[in-house]
Each structure stands twice: as structure tokens, then as C-alpha cells.
Amino acid sequence: MGDTGIQDDWSTDSNEAVHVSLVTPGQTLHTFHPKFTYPIFGDEERIFGYQGLKINIKYHVCDMRPVVQITYNRKFKPVGETEPTDLKAILEDFLPKTAFEKTAVFDAAIADPSYTTWKPPGELWKTIQSGSQTLEVWKGSLADMAVQQMVKRMQILVPFFIEGGTMIELREPEWSLDRWTVFFLYQKNVVDVGSSSSPYTFMGYSTVYRYFLYQPIAPSGSAPAKKQPIHHEANLDFKLPLPEVPFSSLPCRSRISQFIILPPFQGGGSGSRFYNAIFDYFLKDPTTIEITVEDPNEAFDDLRDINDLARLRTVSKFSALRINKNSKPRSKGPVPRDIVDMDAMERIRSKMKIAPRQFARVTEMQLLSMIP
């Protein structure tokens, strides 16, 4: 048999081989496959050296404590330099060390009766009632060790579900980690009296970071600088002189970096509810000037457009917006001011903290939807 034959016989599709499960003591609630595994197993998304391979990443449904179970029917015997893929060595870069403990240790740990009173890390931001379902949104700083532990446990989900998504480097200094706010979405179940399980089911999470934002400052002794739209932004650059006030009190763009709803909970409106809860939080945050999104994909763009449009339509001036048909058509130059009242629009935009390009996009959706 040639090399190609060996490769075919002993090669497995890594998206098929990996199973992610959400479990409670003695019960598997949901199992699903990752969408992508190329950042972990290479561009071909194949694993060499096993037959009947199954890599089960089991997560305790509330605190996302993981355990990895690797099973197979046959393993390739090394020939020269041709060896089976070292799965543990590869996965160790994406999961905490404890994920490789014995399953019996994991089973005993998640059966601890203290889980009945377990609470997600951080603080409760919002409770959302959707029919008979109760959702809770928890939030905390990435500098908080309990939040960090959750992120460490589950951030393999980023390469699994966000194309081109990268995991957060958790070894940064505390002040730098504090730029990140992590939101967790949970379903809170009614549990039977006497049950030893937690009422919490993890559904998804999102990370948001503060993006430093320059504002014009008036020279001392002169009149305050005229308020202008802010266009300049810069990532924190360690070579810049650090401001004397804490970053958390400086004006910023709050940028949604990663946003994941686990597959069993997608398509039922949970992503929208979660997005709106995060938006509501930053609308209330006095230091956030704009809420932006880092590299949204098509699905997230849709979710964002639908929800931003619905939010803006609650503003009467926005929902009354119509194209002024008397305005003269022009082929080039800036948008004519007589099409819509641009100053009023800018006031709505900055009050709603929507970034200029996104606001223009949603405004266009509104105008087009109003053409009889």
C-alpha cells in the first residue's frame, strides 16, 4: 500500500471526530460538532493515525468545567517518522490542563451537591423572560479570576465557531485584562426539589473590550473645544505616555469582539436578546461613546442590523424618516442635506451610540423599507 493509501485508511475528518457535549451528573443534555477545526488540526481539517476516532469535549453545563475523552478502535503503529497525531499535545494549547484529568474525577466533581447554590461568575446584569423561559445575562471583568477561569475553559469555542476568531491572551497584566468585559448568557431552569444539579444552563458568551478614543481637548485658558464627531481611534500602544487617570474612566468605544450562541440554542432569538442586553449595558455606561463590533460575519451582521433597526424605530424622529422626493438628484458629492435632516440624525446616532457606518446602513434600510 502506498503513502496515499495509508493516509486515507488512517485519516479522520476532525470536524466529525470532535464532539462537544453539555452534561449534568449522569446525563448528556446536548451534543454538537464544531464548525471549524482548521486552527487546531490544520487547513485540511484531518487527523492522522486513528480509526473510529472520537474526541469528546464534555462540559459541565453550568460552570463549563471540561473533560476530554479520546476513544478509537485502532491506532496507527509508528513507521519511521510517520506517527499518529499527538492529540493531547495539540489540544493542550486550547484547553486548561484540568481538561485532561480522569473522567471519574470529573464525574465526582460535577456531582458535588454545592452546585445547587452555584452562581455564574461576575454579577447579574439582566433577567429576560421569554415565554416560559428565563434567561440571565451575567457580566464581569476579565481581571476577575472566576471570569478568567470560565473563559479559559471554553475559549476553544472561538476557533470552533468563529472563522478567523482568535483566543484572548490571558497572561496579560491585570490592568490590560480589565479592558475586557465578559458577558455570559444562561438559561435558568426550574429544578426539582431535592435535585443536586445546578439550575443554570450555559448558552453562550461574548467578550467586549474598551478601545481607547481620542477627543479634542481645548488648550488651557481657551474656550472649550467645539464638540465634534470623534473619528480617531488607537489601540493601546505601550509606547504612548499613559494617561494619569484609570483607563476605565476614559471615553472609549466598546467593541464586541467575540459573540457565540452554542448550536443547540441558535435560531430562537437568544442571540438577539443577548445582543440587546449587552447594548443596553453600554448605553447606560457613561464612558462608552460608541458600541462597535470587531470583524462581524454575515450572520452577526444580520442579527445586528435587525436589532439596531428595531431599536432605532423606537425613536419617533427616526421611524418618521422618509426620503424627501423633492430633493434634486445628484450623481456625485456628499449626501445632499435636503434628503434627510442630517443634524437631527447625528443627534439620534450619538445618543444611541451606534457607529457612523452602521447608522448609515440602518438608516438606508429604514428609508428603503418606507418606499411605498
One of 169, 244, 294, 298 is an active-site residue; which one?
294
* Strands 54-60 vs 18-24: parallel, antiparallel or unpaired: parallel
- In the bound complex, what is the minimum distance in angstroms from residue 356's beta carbon to ligand ACO? 18
Q: Binding ligand ACO by CB under 6 A: which of 268, 322, 344, 351?
A: 268
Cβ proximity to ligand ACO: between 287 and 297 the closer is 297
180 in Cβ contact with 142 (< 8 Å)? yes
DSSP 166-204: ----TTS-HHHHTTEEEEEEEEE----TT--S-SEEEEE
**In the complex, minimum distance from the CB of residue 304 to ligand ACO, in angstroms, rounded to a whole number:** 9
Q: Are 168 and 142 a contacting pair, CB within 8 Å?
A: yes
Q: Is 272 in the site for ligand ACO (CB under 6 A)?
A: yes
Which residues have CB under 8 Å from 279's CB, separation 6+?
Answer: 291, 307, 311
Q: What CA–CA distance (Å, rounded) separates 248 from 308?
A: 26
- Closer to ligand ACO by CB, 162 or 312: give it: 162
CB of 270 to ligand ACO, least distance (A): 4
**Contacts of 276 by beta carbon, 8 Å cutoff, 6+ apart:** 307, 311
Please report which residue ranges of the chain form alpha helices under DSSP H. 3-9, 14-17, 38-41, 87-91, 103-110, 145-154, 157-161, 174-177, 270-284, 298-312, 316-319, 342-352, 356-369
- Burial label, 67 (beta-carbon count in 10 A; 0-12, 13-18, 19+): buried
Torsion of CA 322, 326, 329, 333, to 10 degrees: -70
| Residue 294 annotated in active site | yes
20 is an interface residue for ligand ACO by CB under 6 A? no
Among 25, 251, 296, 356, the residue binding ligand ACO under the rule CB under 6 A is: 296
Q: How far is the CB of 42 from ligand ACO (least distance, A)?
A: 21
Q: By C-beta, is 105 or 310 nearer to ligand ACO?
A: 310
Looking at residue 70, what DSSP letter applies? E
Using CA atoms, how far residue 167 sits from 34, 150, 162, in Å, is 15, 13, 10
Query: Bridge-partner residues for 211, per DSSP?
Result: 253
Helix (H) or strand (E) holding 56: strand 54-60
* Secondary structure letter of residue 233 according to DSSP: B
Q: Applying CB under 6 A, does 299 fall inside the site for ligand ACO?
A: yes
Per CB under 6 A, 310 contacts ligand ACO: no
25 or 264: CB nearest ligand ACO: 264
Give 68 or 261: the residue with its C-beta nearer to ligand ACO.
Answer: 261
Residue choice 31, 266, 287, 350 for contact with ligand ACO (CB under 6 A): 266
Would you count residue 293 as binding ligand ACO (CB under 6 A)?
yes
Give, as ranges, the residues between 243 and 262 that touch ligand ACO (CB under 6 A): 256, 258-261
What part of residues 32-51 is at the interface with ligand ACO (CB under 6 A)? Answer: none
Q: Is 264 in the site for ligand ACO (CB under 6 A)?
A: no
Cα–Cα distance for residue pair 160/17, rounded to 1 Å? 13
CB of 277 to ligand ACO, least distance (A): 12
Binding range to ligand ACO, per CB under 6 A, among 84-92, 234-242, 299-307, 308-316: 299-307
Residue nearest to ligand ACO (CB): 271
Could you tell me the CA-to-CA distances from 155 to 145, 162, 178, 259 in Å, in that order? 15, 11, 17, 11
Min. distance of Cβ 264 from ligand ACO in angstroms?
Answer: 10
* Separation between Cα atoms, residue 223 and residue 304, nearest integer Å: 39
229 forms part of the interface with ligand ACO (CB under 6 A): no
Q: Taking CB under 6 A as the rule, does residue 168 contact ligand ACO? A: no
Min dist. Cβ of residue 206 to ligand ACO (A): 7
Which residue, 12 or 207, has its beta carbon nearer to ligand ACO? Answer: 207
> Please, which residue, 106 or 161, has the CB nearer to ligand ACO?
161
Which positions are annotated as active-site residues? Answer: 294
Residues near ligand ACO (CB under 6 A): 161-162, 256, 258-261, 266-272, 293-294, 296-297, 299-300, 302-303
